[in-house]
Structure 1
Amino acid sequence: MTQHLPTIPANGFLRLNQVLQFIPIGKTAWYAGIKEGRFPKPIQLSARTAVYRAQDIAALIDKISQGQGAA
């Protein structure tokens, strides 16, 4: 049995629930990180729809994995 692991697309957008599959923190911590400037700001597509650029999330993961933290 193989397990399907999510992957970040090369470009496009991710919703918050998709982002949190790659960055294992809670929503409150994510929003605090945005406010502090550690995480990328969302793009508002409509009043109730926010997305994140896939490239920004991939860059954040690379930064964290290189030991630079999310600052």
Structure 2
Amino acid sequence: MQPHSSTIPTALSNFDSLPDAAMVDVKTVAAILGKSESSIWRDARTGKLQPIKTGPACTRWNVGAIRRHLAALSGGSE
């Protein structure tokens, strides 16, 4: 078992400066939305979030889509 790291992932700490076309992993999406990774996968299965399969064992989410999802959750106000 690896020790828990308290460092913030680069994609999470730089999320506001990432371009909309950037891709992030499930851990980053979970942290941004304040949900567990299991909840993110559940939202993907129900169509609330749309992951992009980038390889046989690699799935990512589009930053622009996550921003639109957050805007919709907050009533569209930015």
- TM-score range with shorter-chain normalisation? 0.7 to 0.9
Q: Which runs of 5+ in 1 are unaligned?
A: none
Aligned length in residues: 63
Deviations along 1:34-53, one digit per CA (max 9) or x if unpaired, are 111122x2111111111111
RMSD of equivalent CA atoms: 2.0
Give how far 1:10 is off: 2.4
Higher RCO, 1 vs 2 (CA within 8 Å, ≥6 residues apart): 1
- CA deviation vs aligned residue, 1:4-48 (integer Å, no higher than 9, x gap): 873242221111111112101112211111111122x21111111
Q: How high is the sequence identity, in percent, across the aligned residues? A: 13
SS in 2 for 1:10: coil
1:14 maps to amino acid? V
Greater helix proportion: 2
| Residue 23 (structure 1) aligned with residue 16 (structure 2) | no
- Runs of 4+ aligned residues of structure 1 deviating over 2 Å after TM superposition are 4-8
